[in-house]
Amino acid sequence: MNHKERALTALNHEEPDRVPIDLGGRNTTLMLNGYEAFKKKHGKEDLPTEIMSKVWQTAFIDEHFLKQYNADFRHVRPKNIVVLGEDAKQEFTEDGCEIFTDQWGVKRKVDGEYATIHEYNMKEPTLEAIENHPWPHAATDFDFSNVGAEAKKLHDEGEYAVVGCMGSPGNLFEQCWCMRGMPEFFMDMMARKDFAHALLRKVCDHRKENARLFLEEAGEYIDVIQCADDLAMQNAPFMSMPMYREFIKPYQAELFSYIKSMTKAKLYYHSCGAVTGLLDDLVEIGVDILNPVQVSATGMETDQLNKRFGDKLSFWGAIDTFHVLPNGSVDDVRKEVATRIRDLAPGGGYILGSVHNMQSDISPENVVAMLEAAIEFGQYPIAC
């Protein structure tokens, strides 16, 4: 099998020759500092480092490494991402941390490995504030001119499965609270329902336009389309099921339906945390693939997930970035890979990757151990 055949076989819940591997995608890449260490380990410091996302401080992985470590997917996303909002200026704190304003008008501070929120910008919970807000425009946030040709080339070559990233992750809940602040947005959903729905409506319309611009160019050439919206914390979802079903689910259903009307690609959905209680609802509204399978969260035991949802969902990720990859030995990493493959790979439906983007506290040796163990233990029939 070539890479594409292997990936599509697994995503169709059949067993390929080995477990497919994802490296260098939106949730399975290295963060900037970690990538520099990874390049140094391989004696490839001369390779350029290209920023995938300034907000998330992630790097594109060079094709040299994707081939060396048998990555089965190639990711297509808009180029020339506009990070700074209109008329926004870069600032720096006294200790040299950069502050920038993203396209939604939210101030972010690059401190450590992330660009965390420094200042929320939708401070008044009124319909007038929504009406008067300087909303971003999907057509100018991203340059979509490259994605059609790039996706078609990969599709026509037929060597790799093609993953589409629309530029934005399509998040609805997250984008609302990033503008309002999380406690404030929960108060909106409790006490200012008209405002909460109006804000979600505005964000959803923007996400649909973003999806349209991307999928009109690349929709017929991609095999997987990525969406994301973190809905859970370590031990439980952020909200009750009635609140999710009243506020978030209807807009997700609308967005996912719109996306699926424009492409036959499988819908990949990313949410960190303990999402088990949400999975039936997510399957109902069109989710085909769950990422990142945060195995350190409550109720995310991989053997039980596969037993309950393996006929409905494919699982993408699952190699622990909370405990094992940053703190474990090479042998610990190998055991982790063997466990996740044993739990998730039988019958197909598993794509191996890190639970999340790998920070600099994960040694290059452990990244390599993960990728090499994926080949060693991932051969079908699974025997680890």
pLDDT along the chain (384 residues), means of 10: 98 98 95 96 96 87 98 90 56 81 88 86 96 91 93 98 93 97 98 98 97 98 98 98 98 98 98 98 98 98 98 98 98 98 98 96 98 98 92
Asked whether the beta carbons of 259 and 302 are under 8 A apart, the reply is no
Please report whether residue 45 resides in a domain.
yes
Asked whether the beta carbons of 52 and 98 are under 8 A apart, the reply is no
Please report whether residue 107 resides in a domain.
no
Please report whether residue 105 resides in a domain.
no
User: Which pLDDT belongs to residue 54?
Assistant: 81
CATH number at residue 217: 3.20.20.210
Number of folded domains that form the chain? 1
User: Which pLDDT belongs to residue 160?
Assistant: 98
> Would strands 91-92 and 73-76 be described as parallel, antiparallel, or unpaired?
unpaired
Domain ranges, residue 230: 3-82+120-377
User: Which pLDDT belongs to residue 112?
Assistant: 77
User: Which pLDDT belongs to residue 91?
Assistant: 80
- Read off the DSSP letter of residue 43: T
Please report whether residue 115 resides in a domain.
no
User: Which pLDDT belongs to residue 312?
Assistant: 97
Please report whether residue 191 resides in a domain.
yes
User: Which pLDDT belongs to residue 261?
Assistant: 98
Please report whether residue 103 resides in a domain.
no
How far apart CA 318 and CA 339 sit, in angstroms, is 10
Residue 182: count other Cβ atoms within 10 Å of its Cβ: 15
Please report whether residue 14 resides in a domain.
yes
User: Which pLDDT belongs to residue 97?
Assistant: 85
